Amino acid sequence: MSKSVIAGFDAGTSKFRCLLFDLNGNEKFSTSLKTPLKKNKDGYLYNSADKIIDTTIKIIRKACIFANKNNLIIKSIAFSSVAEAGIPISKNGNVLLDAIPWYDQRTETIRNNLSNILVEKFIYENTGLANNHFYTAYKILWIKKHKTAIYKKIYKWLPISDFIAWKFTGKISTDYSQAMRTMLFDPKKMQWSKKMLKKTKINKSILPEIVNTGEKKGLIKENLKRTLFLKNDCIVGTGGHDDIIAMFAMQGFKKKIAVNSLGSAEGIFVNTNKFEKKTILNRAKFISGVFQTNETKSYYIVGSILTSSLVIEWYKNLLDIKDYSNLISTIKNSEGVKKNIFVFPQFEFSHSPINENVTKGGIWGINTNTTKGDIYKSILECLSFDTKNALEFILKITKIKINKILCSGGGTKNKEWLKIRSNIFNKKLYINTNHEKVSLGSAILGGLAANIYKNEKEAFSMIKNKEIIIKNNSKQSKIYRNIFITKYLPNIKLIIKLNKS
């Protein structure tokens, strides 16, 4: 007898992945390929639109072949992806330009040249975002300036997830989580921002319709079904921005929950009761956003630690340590900040709530008795202090109380770091053990679009999120609290002062 499965697709920065799950969220199949990237004649890097589709087809075809061999029916799929990057298409459906990667630096000049027109305060008040060059608006404006003929032909701009879904269904739309990252969306009015469009002089007509995440887009086209070896009708649901879809999969949008995403960079998300638009949050480099499905609307604030695991990787490479087990062994009998050694990890970018254009890292308090383990432990501690600083800032301003911190991302494999963080936060940490949360979240959204689940409550009653709990030591938490207040915060101010000198 055939069994139904749901598919989730994650078009990430480094890899494209497709996973099949049973209706209880158990992984049945996984396959991935490297994210397409090429250099064009103009010398810039692009995500090739043709290869995006070719790669997607190859991946899903593997999933379909597996399903056919194992008597599984793929009932639904949803596509999620990185945000900010997008692909412009013409009226007759031709790709006009490959995607500019979200992290690409070429738009920084565009941002800087418009600094008198697009000021930070105006952007924040109308979008909830900071004035960062990687947002979609600056990518469109780069095309307008450097690829004028192409800009004039743009019919629609589609985020990568929605570009793939359009190719598979013919439906043109995006969701609120992707719209949030364009810098052209008004989260208060839940529509494209008239004020931002006027300021940027971007034509509203090129922006897609915004729909709820998890809404049905359509069926996979018949010609593609044959290419994929897909034997049944498969409904495509609306996915979204990968970070937000991962939060959805973890049920991170519940009240009184903070989500700490630990990767090369780090995010600390706190759910709020309303859309927060306080000037003090903007000055401290926090952004506010909204996520909406067919059933719920969720508001959040995000703080960014932009050099997180990246600093750990730097230290590992500096010492020429081949694997993390050897690095962890250096911590034994090490003291770190308890020995008055502080590594300030704002190596390239300032971390919320510090708002400086230029920052440099620093190592404070070393002497001839300092060991490499002391420094490594301080790195783990000070990164955790940075996150604590951001989290406490949000909670103080919003007066929100949290009772649970969910952790996800590659950094959760570092158990020593998690123990330290738990003590510094003075809270239990709940580590979600599903390492493919974007794909799982996408699969659930596809299942909702296909009415496989009646609603989100039923979906999450069936999907079992497994969590590991890291408990804090109350004695250690008190010691860290004292160090945080009496040493860490004053020293952060001193480092910032030294950076300016």
Note the pLDDT tens digit of each residue in 62-72.
999 999 999 99
Instruction: For residue range 157-211, list pLDDT tens digits in order.
Output: 999 999 999 999 999 999 999 999 999 999 999 999 999 999 999 999 999 999 9
Task: Give pLDDT, residue 265.
Answer: 84
8 Å CB contact between 139 and 158: no
Same domain, 348 and 240: no
Domain that includes residue 138, residue range: 3-244
Token pair of 34 as six digits: 């490297």
**How many whole angstroms separate alpha carbon 175 and alpha carbon 182?**
11
CATH number, position 188: 3.30.420.40
Spatial CB neighbours of 301, under 8 Å, sequence gap ≥ 6: 269, 270, 272, 276, 281, 286, 287, 288, 289, 394, 398
Query: Please, what's the b/e burial string for 412-436 (b: 16 or more CB within 10 A of its CB; e: otherwise)?
Result: bebeebbbbbbbbbbbebbbbebeb
Q: How many domains does the chain have?
A: 2
Averaged over 209-235, what is the pLDDT? 97
User: In which band, very low, low, confident or very high, does the pLDDT at 497 lie, cut at 50, 70 and 90?
Assistant: confident
User: Does some domain include residue 276?
Assistant: no
Cα angle for residues 240, 241, 242 (degrees, 5° grid) = 110
Same domain, 231 and 327: no
User: Does some domain include residue 60?
Assistant: yes
User: pTM for the complete prediction?
Assistant: 0.90
Check pLDDT > 70 for residue 500: no
User: In which band, very low, low, confident or very high, does the pLDDT at 501 lie, cut at 50, 70 and 90?
Assistant: low
Same domain, 31 and 113: yes
User: Does some domain include residue 371?
Assistant: yes
Same domain, 238 and 326: no
Averaged over 234-248, what is the pLDDT? 95
8 Å CB contact between 268 and 258: yes
Same domain, 350 and 492: yes
User: Does some domain include residue 491?
Assistant: yes
Task: Give pLDDT, residue 264.
Answer: 82
Task: Give pLDDT, residue 499.
Answer: 66
User: Does some domain include residue 484?
Assistant: yes
8 Å CB contact between 220 and 64: no
Same domain, 14 and 125: yes
**Strand ranges across the sheet with 15-21:** 27-34, 15-21, 3-11, 72-81, 235-241, 216-219
Same domain, 96 and 177: yes
Token pair of 12 as six digits: 């990430």
**How many whole angstroms separate alpha carbon 219 and alpha carbon 165?**
10
Instruction: For residue range 415-456, list pLDDT tens digits in order.
Output: 999 999 999 999 999 998 888 899 999 999 999 999 999 999
Same domain, 387 and 492: yes
Instruction: For residue range 29-52, list pLDDT tens digits in order.
Output: 999 999 999 998 889 999 999 999
Average pLDDT, the chain: 93
Domain end among 244, 261, 284? 244
Check pLDDT > 80 for residue 141: yes
Same domain, 88 and 233: yes
Same domain, 201 and 331: no
Domain end among 244, 276, 296? 244
8 Å CB contact between 93 and 156: no
Same domain, 19 and 151: yes
φ, ψ of residue 129 in degrees (nearest 5)? -105, 165
Check pLDDT > 90 for residue 74: yes
Same domain, 211 and 332: no
**How many whole angstroms separate alpha carbon 351 and alpha carbon 89?**
36
User: Does some domain include residue 436?
Assistant: no
Task: Give pLDDT, residue 88.
Answer: 98
Between 267 and 193, the higher pLDDT residue: 193
User: Does some domain include residue 192?
Assistant: yes
Instruction: For residue range 346-391, list pLDDT tens digits in order.
Output: 887 778 888 776 678 888 899 999 999 999 999 999 999 999 999 9
Domain end among 220, 244, 268? 244
Check pLDDT > 80 for residue 474: yes
User: In which band, very low, low, confident or very high, does the pLDDT at 492 lie, cut at 50, 70 and 90?
Assistant: confident
Spatial CB neighbours of 222, under 8 Å, sequence gap ≥ 6: none
